[in-house]
Amino acid sequence: MIIVLKPNITRKEEKAVLAEIKKLGYKPHIMRGVERTVIGAIGDERTHQNLETLMTWPQVEKVMPVQKRYKLVSREGHQGNSIIEVRGNVIGGKRFQVMAGPCSVESETQLLTTAEAVKKSGATILRGGAFKPRTSPYEFQGLGAKGLKLLAKARRETGLAIITELLSEDHAEMVAEYTDIIQIGARNAQNFQLLIAAAKTGKPVLLKRGLSMKIEEWLLAGEYVLAHGNPNLLFCERGIRTFETYTRNTLDLSTIPIIKQESHFPIVVDPSQGSGRADLVIAMCKGAVAMGADALLVEVHPNPAEAWSDGAQQVTLEGFARLMEELKPVVAAAGPEY
Ligand code: PEP
Ligand code: MN
């Protein structure tokens, strides 16, 4: 920690701060400038009282951390990029990956039709919610275990890997038994017990950004997965809540280069929750690819007008085929292979 003292304090006041730092178990290093004195305090904050309490002292102006609060997700001290392998598909490597499928698993025909179509268009991972985090308790809550079984069937028939959301710690084992990637939704992005339960399954965890989550909070939520022994993490930008009403959320594409600077884990972009509008999905995908996203998570439905959830933002099977065609030159220009 760096402790900046207020200007014009007496040596006696300075000595009192130094004594307190030592009392708390840290080693102070003093730097005297012309106007101000700065103290560097060295020690392990995990085992000692946090020095931020010094802010309550009248002679202290500022207390600032030197190190980042997240360590394992951080690029500092980690060489290269972490790549996440899911059934032979590598995310974060040279190949660009697309995860696609319906918002909710609704029926066998709906899921299998979608799975075959997205596979044909080039997707490698099938998405589909079996447990749905709905704002209203009166809306469709997902098919639950039956939905998981249908996802497993789709995987058997198409060879696509599966991603589905985990809503409750109680379901962690069951969901992990069926899925290849566990999705933690925006509403649960800081549900730390759920993150720990997801981490402990050993399956790769895709962590959506929370509705109003700062990037540092998101990185720290990812740190929970790492700190609980799971090295397979994917960050997923899905838009944040702003004052704007033309879109459901504001898709914050600046997080792509920021997550890449800060972390060695891949960044996935979800333009569907990110915009809430099927007509914007292709453009947002192109933007995400151009900015260096490692993968996309796109909602696709055979008949969005009859979808049981998120109809307005799901692209049709034909729309998805067009999206994948239109993305090709952007992917080629952005670097990764298709
Ligand atoms: C979803 O992927 O369907 C979903 C509910 O996502 P989010 O948690 O980002 O809202
Ligand atoms: Mn959805």
Q: How far is CA 121 from CA 8, 260, 281, 323, in A?
A: 69, 28, 16, 9
Q: How far is the CA of 205 from the centre of ligand 2 (A)?
A: 18
Regarding the beta carbon of 274 and ligand 1, being less than 6 Å apart is answered: no
Substitution candidate for ligand 1 out of 165, 194, 248, 252 with most atoms within 8 A of CB: 165
Q: How far is the CA of 245 from the centre of ligand 1 (A)?
A: 18
For the CA of 270, the nearest atom of ligand 1 = 9
Task: With 0.75 as the threshold, say if the pTM is over it.
Answer: yes
Q: How far is the CA of 245 from the centre of ligand 2 (A)?
A: 18
Residues 152/178, Cβ–Cβ less than 8 Å: yes
For the CA of 208, the nearest atom of ligand 1 = 9
If you take atom 2 of ligand 1, which residue's CA is the nearest one? Answer: 103
Q: Which residues pair with 300 in a beta bridge?
A: 315
Cα angle 177, 193, 200 (rounded to 5 degrees) comes to 40
**How far is 44 from 316, CA to CA, in rounded Å?**
54
Regarding the beta carbon of 133 and ligand 1, being less than 6 Å apart is answered: yes
pLDDT of res. 337: 58
Regarding the beta carbon of 271 and ligand 1, being less than 6 Å apart is answered: no
Phi, psi of 223 (to 5 degrees): -60, -35
For the CA of 185, the nearest atom of ligand 1 = 8
Regarding the beta carbon of 188 and ligand 1, being less than 6 Å apart is answered: no
Regarding the beta carbon of 103 and ligand 1, being less than 6 Å apart is answered: yes
Q: How far is the CA of 221 from the centre of ligand 1 (A)?
A: 17
pLDDT of res. 35: 84
If you take atom 3 of ligand 1, which residue's CA is the nearest one? Answer: 103
pLDDT of res. 338: 53
For the CA of 104, the nearest atom of ligand 1 = 3
**How far is 178 from 225, CA to CA, in rounded Å?**
20
Q: Within 10 Å of residue 153's Cβ, how many Cβ atoms?
A: 14
109: left (phi over 0), alpha (psi -120 to 50) or beta: alpha
Chunk the chain into consecutive blocks of 10 residues (it has 338) and report each block's average pLDDT, rounded to whole numbers.
91 93 92 89 83 92 88 91 96 94 98 98 98 97 98 98 98 98 98 98 98 98 97 98 98 98 98 98 98 97 98 98 97 78
Q: How far is the CA of 278 from the centre of ligand 2 (A)?
A: 12
Substitution candidate for ligand 1 out of 135, 208, 255 with most atoms within 8 A of CB: 208
**How far is 292 from 49, CA to CA, in rounded Å?**
40
**How far is 247 from 212, CA to CA, in rounded Å?**
15
**How far is 173 from 313, CA to CA, in rounded Å?**
30
192: left (phi over 0), alpha (psi -120 to 50) or beta: alpha
